[in-house]
Structure 1
Amino acid sequence: MPAVDRKTRLFDPDAMESLRREHRLDPQAIRQLRNDLLKKFESDRSVLAKFPAADSVSLHVLELYQRMDSELDGATKLLFETRSGMLIESVILRIATGRTTLCVSSQVGCAAACDFCATGKMGIARNLETSEILDQIVQAGQMLQQEGRRLSNIVFMGMGEPLHNESNVTRAIELLTASDHFARSPSTLLVSTVGVPAGMLRLAKRFPKLNLALSLHSANQAVREKIIPLGKKASLEELHSTISQIQSIQDREFMIEYLMLDQLNDSADDVQQLIDWIGDLRVHINLIPYNTIDASPHLRATPKQRIESFASELKQAGFKTTVRYSLGSDIEAACGQLIRQENRQRAMADRAVQINIR
């Protein structure tokens, strides 16, 4: 487990102000520190060399535990260790067009328990703090800066259900879009949820230009509940109504994510149910080929030809549709399983230590 760091944390504004006063720093020194690290993603050495109180500030709350680079494409999986000793993951996607997307985690584990997801099989350990969410972005941004690449988009599609950690995710978005921190446009950010209506509406009202996505995966209530147990808490009717309300707030398309599962949600009836459910909503549908995981051997990927037929039906119905083939397939599934096993072992070891202490 990483050693406890007593230094002032960068994303604690009150502590940073106390640090400034203690060292009698010009406010410009703090502004330059944030600008160099959060906007330019300069290296730690470069940033600290210009900061008068370098020995008193902590730039990171996560330790890079492991980096895995795909041998097939431009994907990189980053495993980070929190100060409590748990592992989380982020994924850098270097798109062929030159754009770069970072997928970040919002929780250690996930309570949604989606049948297709390795993280969902972990259960929930805890929410990530705002600083832990943001440090994934800082460290990935620094890696990309060294490559001469720019971070184009950030998606909350990693470990966890973002709206189960709504306060910290909202604060992270506030700092990502704040002019004195990351100064990013909210249109470069996307939050994906399995469907938490009240939280979806709050985010839309707070950030009208933020991109939102619903992991739908079926327009049949019974099938959706089988795939996503949390689907029992919000009906398809309620989710449709929520998206309609969001679109009265936001002048933008809403993203619908649909994982293609063989003989479960990929039939002619399934595509018609999806078309009927969408109705007059303005959406962009992402069809996602399934990558198998060891924890769900009963699920199979829809054949490519059937995915293309499904997409064709949606396009003919007038919906913008993309088949989103995954990057980093050679590093993706196994890593989620390894994190699950490693975190369980660490949690069990920690509990054993606590019992012995008592």
Structure 2
Amino acid sequence: MPSLPLSIVRPTASTPSIYEDKAVEQARRVLRFDPGLVRRLRTALFKHNRSPSDALLTLPVQLRRQFSSQIALTALTLCERFDSGIDGASKLIFKTAEGYAIESVLLRAATGRVALCVSSQIGCAAKCDFCATGRMGMAHDLSAAEILDQVAQANRQLSAEGRRVRNLVFMGMGEPLHNEQSVSEALDFLTSAQGFHHPHSRILLSTVGVADALERMAERFPRVNYAISLHAADQAVRERIIPLAKRYPLHDLRGTVSRLNALQSDRTTVMLEYLMLAGINDAPEDADRLIEWSRTLRVHLNLIPYNPVDDAPHLVGSDRATIERFGERLKAAGLPTTIRYSMGRDVDAACGQLVRRENRALARSTAMASALA
């Protein structure tokens, strides 16, 4: 990656960022300049997708170095980009100030629309059997600035194509509702006029089913869309592939979905994600249990082909014919159902695949250094 200009502060763990309203306001007051200049700078960064060095040109010459010495205009360092040779996926690998790697995935649809899959944690405590990130272990939460910077930098990557991110999905590394505070702060900034001004309706937050936090989030952001990684309508099967399911049984989760339906517009549905695993959750009786569990709920089923991950050879994805039969059974019962097309297989788009080993090595070396200190 090219080095940053001298006028741009590299992100550090202690440097306040352009995403932090209080820190930005404090710097503005110390430097005694008009609030309109902050709005102009943020517009250049988040609406016009200009690089930090270009965006700084919106400030008077005498303020550029002073302001950028106090406020970091980035929170992450973009290290690598992997473009799929078979579809419109691009994997972006970032480094945090502490040196941990995280990833985001750009998904370009044939319609020209672009979605960005963002990460909320380094690692994940949910430890789902099918997920590479869960096998990484838990390192720590991302800050709101680190979540938001994925969006800003993805938009800058897309600007060369004359496009920008249309849909944001919190389906990357981590369980968003285990990092409720940072994710809430990020959603506030994403949707605010002073930030990205991104429509609530084009944001989807996916959770493995942290019911209490999901209800709090929906009360605070009722216009955001929500998805639950269900993957089974049988409690024993769900616990087998999602250890956290023991804390949030299906009966309670169903009540949560019902309350979300009451909170949200009649046109809003809760997405149920269902990873198709051969011999585990893809039999006709599994579909029937799913139909019964979903009865009277306003939901949309999303059937997902399995992206194989390292260290999980016991899991095999259902074949296409099985997925289609399963989907037809759901549709025949009146359940809105979509079969997702899996993108980015050739760039390991299964979340966490590329960065897992690197983060494990860093975590081990950090632990060793702490033990020797």
Tell me, in whole angstroms, the C-alpha distance in 2 between the residues paired with 1:337 and 1:185: 30
Match of 1:189 among 186, 203, 218: 203
Correspondence for 1:26 = 34
Correspondence for 2:6 = none
Query: Could you tell me which amino acid in structure 1 is paired with residue 209 of structure 2?
Result: G
What is the SS of the residue equivalent to 2:98? Answer: coil
- Say if 1:207 and 1:299 are closer, same or farther in 2 by CA, change over 3 A: same
- Say if 1:284 and 1:3 are closer, same or farther in 2 by CA, change over 3 A: closer
Say if 2:168 is the partner of 1:154.
yes
Match of 2:272 among 256, 271, 278: 256
Query: Could you tell me which amino acid in structure 1 is paired with residue 30 of structure 2?
Result: E
1:293 and 1:333 in contact (8 A); partners too? no
Match of 1:54 among 64, 72, 79: 64
Offset from partner CA, 1:104-162 (integer Å, 9 cap, x none):
00000000000000000011100000100000011001111221012110000000000
Deviation (angstroms), 1:8: 4.7
What is the SS of the residue equivalent to 1:108? Answer: strand
Tell me, in whole angstroms, the C-alpha distance in 2 between the residues paired with 1:274 and 1:54: 57
Tell me, in whole angstroms, the C-alpha distance in 1 between the residues paired with 2:364 and 2:286: 42
Q: Figure out how many residues of one structure are paired with residues of the other and give that number.
A: 356
- Say if 1:7 and 1:333 are closer, same or farther in 2 by CA, change over 3 A: closer
- Say if 1:334 and 1:240 are closer, same or farther in 2 by CA, change over 3 A: closer
Offset from partner CA, 1:68-113 (integer Å, 9 cap, x none):
1111111000111000111111000011111100000000000000
**Greater alpha carbon shift after TM alignment, 4-13 vs 82-91:** 4-13
Deviation (angstroms), 1:186: 0.7
1:65 and 1:80 in contact (8 A); partners too? yes
Say if 2:88 is the partner of 1:43.
no
Tell me, in whole angstroms, the C-alpha distance in 2 between the residues paired with 1:172 and 1:203: 12
1:193 and 1:213 in contact (8 A); partners too? yes
| TM-score computed with the length of structure 1 as normaliser | 0.96
- Say if 1:331 and 1:84 are closer, same or farther in 2 by CA, change over 3 A: same
1:118 and 1:333 in contact (8 A); partners too? no
2:107 and 2:343 in contact (8 A); partners too? yes
Say if 2:245 is the partner of 1:235.
no
Gaps of 5+ in 1: none
| TM-score computed with the length of structure 2 as normaliser | 0.92
Root-mean-square deviation (CA, aligned residues, Å) is: 1.5
Query: Could you tell me which amino acid in structure 2 is paired with residue 142 of structure 1?
Result: R
Correspondence for 2:363 = 347
1:101 and 1:151 in contact (8 A); partners too? yes
- Residue correspondence of structure 1 range 44-123 to structure 2 within 5 A: 44-52=52-60, 53-55=63-65, 56-57=67-68, 58-123=72-137
Correspondence for 2:144 = 130
Query: Could you tell me which amino acid in structure 2 is paired with residue 300 of structure 1?
Result: V
Correspondence for 2:309 = 293
What is the SS of the residue equivalent to 2:328? Answer: helix
Deviation (angstroms), 1:281: 0.6
Tell me, in whole angstroms, the C-alpha distance in 1 between the residues paired with 2:316 and 2:112: 32
Percent identical residues = 49
Query: Could you tell me which amino acid in structure 2 is paired with residue 36 of structure 1?
Result: A
Deviation (angstroms), 1:21: 1.9
Gaps of 5+ in 2: 1-9
Tell me, in whole angstroms, the C-alpha distance in 2 between the residues paired with 1:206 and 1:5: 28
Tell me, in whole angstroms, the C-alpha distance in 2 between the residues paired with 1:8 and 1:17: 11
1:109 and 1:126 in contact (8 A); partners too? yes
- Say if 1:99 and 1:206 are closer, same or farther in 2 by CA, change over 3 A: same
Correspondence for 1:268 = 284
